[in-house]
Amino acid sequence: MRLPLPQALVDQARAFETGEAVPAEPRRAATVVLMREGRADAAPGPEVYLLRRQTSMAFAGGMCVFPGGGVDPRDHDASVAWAGPSPAEWASRLACDESLARALVCAAVRETFEESGVLLAGPSDDSVVSDTTGDDWEADRVALETRELSLTDFLLRRGLVLRTDLLGAWAGWLTPIFEPRRYETWFFVAVLPEGQVTRDVSTESSSVHWAPALAAVEAVEAGEILMLPPTYLTCLDVAEHPTPAEVLAEAEHRSVEMFTPAVVSSGEDFVLSMPERYRPLVARR
């Protein structure tokens, strides 16, 4: 689904392309497509966890998004307890330097916990926390959210290690140059750990829900929910895989190529461009 862009937005984009306006400096961010097995009585394929952002939010207000947010300077801390692929391996997958790769992985895990209560960490390299619903966990989650506590100190205090092997690299999106707020966002995928449950805890969302990735796509197309193009296309992409495990298997072979949507002509109208790999998926809609 590619909606025509209003002429005012097209004119605004042209001003940036010609140098009449200066693009905003993008902030680096990480977002996680949190998945679980689909139900037999629902649409086929994995279910994804979606937050509907408060309509008052300056960026993507009212949109359904995945858990995620900006990189905190402390996410670069090299002393963080770490299990799984090394920062060097993640740097290769994410197409960035090691320091940024470490920060992006930390931000992905931290933001997922802050916005859903799900923690991709465990007491050892091959275990994961099974329950994060207690009051003590909630106090730590709030402290992370308010930046009173760093991820490194949180893990150290609880004797936990970051399970980076539970994440997969999926895609990269850079907000178009004409947007006043811009983000360079790395998309990760992960499966809901056994025993853990999501909780409606994010102060930035008005509601949260699980939905089959395909059903989410159909809801956008029916005008029932709103999504930015990267979220919609990611749901469409994930829906191509029968199970979350197969999404993670696909992620093992991916390396991120950052893509910036641009205003292009579709013949009669102007639309936003997309990576080539999504074209066949969209053409079938």
CATH of the domain at 182: 3.90.79.10
Which has more pLDDT, 29 or 14?
29
Confidence at residue 151, expressed as pLDDT on a 0 to 100 scale: 97
pLDDT in tens, 50-72: 999 876 665 666 889 999 999 99
Confidence at residue 3, expressed as pLDDT on a 0 to 100 scale: 66
Angle at the Cα of 122 from the Cα atoms of 118 and 128, rounded to 5 degrees:
65
Q: Residues 113, 129: contact at Cβ < 8 Å? A: no
Q: Is residue 196 a part of any domain in this protein?
A: yes
Q: Is residue 101 a part of any domain in this protein?
A: yes
DSSP run (H or E) holding 173? strand 167-174
Residues 6+ apart with CB under 8 A from 165: 83, 84, 85
| CA 58/CA 25 separation, integer angstroms | 16
Q: What mean pLDDT comes out for the span 182-207?
A: 90
Q: Is residue 200 a part of any domain in this protein?
A: yes
What's this model's pTM, rounded to 2 decimal places? 0.92
Domain count along the chain: 1
| CA 125/CA 69 separation, integer angstroms | 26
Report the SS3 class of residue 268: coil
How crowded is residue 22: how many other Cβ atoms within 10 Å of its Cβ? Answer: 9
Q: Is residue 219 a part of any domain in this protein?
A: yes
Q: Is residue 2 a part of any domain in this protein?
A: no
Q: With 80 as the cut, is the pLDDT of residue 198 above it?
A: yes
CB hemisphere CA count around 108 (13 angstroms): 30
Q: Is residue 1 a part of any domain in this protein?
A: no
Name the residue with tokens 């029968």: 242
Q: Is the dihedral of CA 129, 186, 61, 224 positive or negative?
A: negative
Strand partners for 167:
190
Residues 6+ apart with CB under 8 A from 223: none
Q: Which of 105-109, 128-132, 198-202 has the lowest mean pLDDT?
A: 198-202
Confidence at residue 38, expressed as pLDDT on a 0 to 100 scale: 85
Q: By residue range, what is the domain housing residue 164?
A: 7-283
Q: Is residue 207 a part of any domain in this protein?
A: yes
Q: Is residue 82 a part of any domain in this protein?
A: yes
Q: With 70 as the cut, is the pLDDT of residue 1 above it?
A: no
Quickly state the pLDDT bin for 6 (edges 50, 70, 90): confident
Name the residue with tokens 């490194």: 152
